[in-house]
Each structure stands twice: as C-alpha cells, then as structure tokens.
A = this chain, B = another copy of it.
Amino acid sequence: MFMLVLITALVSGCQVFSATDKAPGPDAMANSVMGTGDLGLVIERATGSVLVINTTNRSVLHRIEGLGDLSHASVVYSRDARYGFVFGRDGGLTKVDLLTQSIVGRVIQSGNSIGGAISQDGRYVAVSNYEPGGVKVFDSTTLDLVADIPATYTKANGEKGQSKTVGLVDAPGNRFVFSLFDAGQIWVLDMPDDVAGSQPELTRFEAGKAPYDSMITPDGRHYIAGLFGEDGLSMLDLWDTDAGVVEILPGYGRGEQPLPVYKMPHLEGWTVADGRAFIPAVGHHQVLVADMNDWSLVEKIPVQGQPVFVMASPDNRNIWVSFAHPKNDVIQVIDSRTRKVIRTLEPGKSVLHMEFTPRGEEVWVSSRDSNRVTVYNTRTLEPVAELDAQSPSGIFFTSRAHKLGL
C-alpha cells in the first residue's frame, strides 16, 4: 500500500543546478552583513522571479530571476532565516540566499507540485506533488533527496496509482502531515531526529472524499482538511491520533443558496483568534466563525465577496479578508471583538495575498494586476508605502522560520 524509500545520495530523475547568477565579491560580502529578521520574499508569478525585500526600510533589495513557473508558489525558511525554499508549480524547488540575493540550489523534483514545508528542526524540506503524486523530502542544506513517498493507493478498479498530495504542513515532533486527494487519506510522516537509530515512520488515516487543502492550528495540534467530495471537514488531533479523523463543521461546503465557486478558499488562510476559528465560507459572501472547543459554527459574518484569505493580525485585534475573482480588488477588515466589517480598503487590482510584519504593526498586500505591493499601518488602516513589483502574488517574511505549520 505504501513504499518508503530512504535515500542518502541524490537519485536520478532530479536535475540540480548550481546557479551562480551573482557570485559575491568583497563588496557584496560587506553588503551581505545584515540581520535577516526583517527580510522576506515577494513572488513575481508571471516572470519566474522573486524580490528580496526589507520590512524595516520598506524597500526592495534585489530581484532574483530564473525560478521557473511560480504560479501558486510558496516559501518556507531555514531556521537561521537566511535561506528561502521556493516551491514552484513546475516541480521546481529553489533555495535562495537572502544575504547574497542569489540562487544557491535548485532541483526539478517532479512534474507538478503544490507547496511544501520544513521540519521542526530545520533539517528536512518536503514537497507535495500532483504529478506523479506523492511527497519528496530533501536535506535542507544540500537539497539531496532523503525520502521518497510515492503515496501509492489502490483504485476502485483494483489498479495501483500514485495519489496527488495536498495540504502538506510540518508538525511538532519533527513530523510532516499531508492529505491524499485521490486516496481520501491523511498521512503522518515522522522524520528522524537526532535520537540514535530513529527512522522515518508513516501512519495513515481514512479522511473522507477528495481532500483538497489543509491547515494546522498554530500550536501544531489540529490538522484540518477541506473536502471536495463531501460536506464538512476532516480533523486529526495530533495529540490523540488513536481517535483517528473526525468530521467537524458538517455543513461546511454546502450552504442554502449555492453560488459559483470562483476559487476554493485556502485553508492555510484560516485564522485562530481568541479561541475562535475564522474561516472563509465556500461559495458564499461570508466569513464563518467556529468555536474551537467543540468546532461548532457560531456565527456568519457578511462580507463583500467570496473570501480567500482570512487572516488575524498578530495581536488578534482585526481580521483581514481577501476575496475571489471578480470582487478581488478590495480587502475588508473585521473587528475581532464586534465581528463587524470596520473598513474596506482598495489596494489595487487583483489582490492575491497579504502578510503581517511579525509583531503586526504593518501588513503588506500584493495587487497582481496593479503591479504593486501596498504597505498598511494596522492601527490607522492607512497605506504608508507602495513598492513596484511584477504581477506580485505571495509575500513571505523570514519570521515564518520560527513558526510551526507554515
């Protein structure tokens, strides 16, 4: 049913590039002496490039090119907050050095991939693949392949297949958790840590029909998968895996008056504030509020379009919401206490993503079709800076290095 291959040398089928588009000389070296706590990457999806940015100066340090297809790309960071691992849509895994602003490693590890994660101890980077399916795990220092999990399952007709994997996250205990779209399962991959003799271990759970995305709560305890094939969500409590997967929010995905779903909400765009989960409704102009004690639906907040990302500011004071096409030129801000929309902002055309500075004084918002990133003060809700970017999508700050489940 599954095959776990532990590989210590690089296997064939992976292309490795030693890119040296910017070899650092003495001057560059001096320019590279800087803290990495206020840096980040902005994805330029159409041009296969990323911007290295600084959140203190609100400036662009450099553009790095040659990262392939970056539609739907995401980034995780090494534990020293120096290196970003960029997951491209074309199966490319690119390691970027934010200090020298150059590509220091690149692997085409599959034909089509959808995000990844870095282990709690920073030693492993895992990638979730559509084609040919499965998950590959790499050494974060060398990008050598460490483990290949094909995600093999048996189809209804008895044939073997490799499942598309989605919703790959890291979890405490040096684990990765991901969902198998085709197999309807959730798998937990327990990676070895420094304890002598420990080996990767895989545990599988039945998870319902066609999980399409997942999130994990900030403490790394509850892994929640959205389902295409049925209403409701599947939840695995990683503190009590013996209980298996349970269904929560049974009406989620249904709704009384179905609307066209322009874009499935990102579950990673869920947020937790004050013991409540704020969740984008599927196909409705609503943000749902669930009580995390029993995961019951307690409120529906009306908003101006179909929400995509629903994100709390780091102080949990406000919830910022982005929207699906065609109503995606605005951001709405919800007061987490009154649970009412308090402001509608217009950063530009086709707002795709937003990222809070680590302590929440500002938030960066990307407007793809306006070719800009707008920075807002979270107290005044007024713009304080604009940066040029080519079709910007995801924004990822290095403070993610220190968070579980991102």
Contact = CB atoms under 8 A, between A and B. Distances in A.
Interface of A: 26, 29-30, 32-39, 55-56, 77-83, 98-100, 120-122, 172-174, 193-195, 219-221, 239, 273-275, 293, 314-317, 337, 357-361, 377, 379-380, 382, 384, 398-399, 401-404
Contact of A120 (B29, B83, B359): B359
Given A219-B315, A275-B275, A359 B404 contact: yes
Contact of A220 (B38, B315, B404): B315
A213 to B, nearest CB: 22
**Interface residue SS majority, chain A:** loop
Tell which of A56, A81, A99 has the most Cβ of chain B within 10 Å.
Answer: A81
Contact of A38 (B80, B173, B174, B357): B80
Nearest to A403: B359
A33 B26 CA distance: 11
Contacts of A98: 35
B377 A195 contact: yes
A358 B79 contact: yes
26 contacts: A26-B26, A34-B99, A35-B78, A36-B81, A37-B37, A37-B81, A37-B82, A37-B402, A39-B80, A79-B357, A120-B359, A122-B359, A172-B315, A172-B359, A195-B380, A195-B382, A219-B273, A219-B316, A220-B315, A221-B316, A239-B337, A358-B402, A359-B402, A359-B404, A360-B404, A402-B402
A80 B34 contact: yes
A56 B80 contact: yes
B174 A379 contact: yes
B122 A56 contact: yes
Contacts of A121: 359, 361
Given A29-B33, A79-B359, A172-B379, 10 more contacts: A26-B26, A33-B33, A33-B100, A37-B78, A56-B122, A172-B317, A172-B360, A174-B379, A239-B317, A314-B404
A293 B79 CA distance: 35
Given A219-B315, A315-B172, A399-B402, A193 B37 contact: no
Nearest to A336: B239
A399 to B, nearest CB: 4
A237 to B, nearest CB: 10
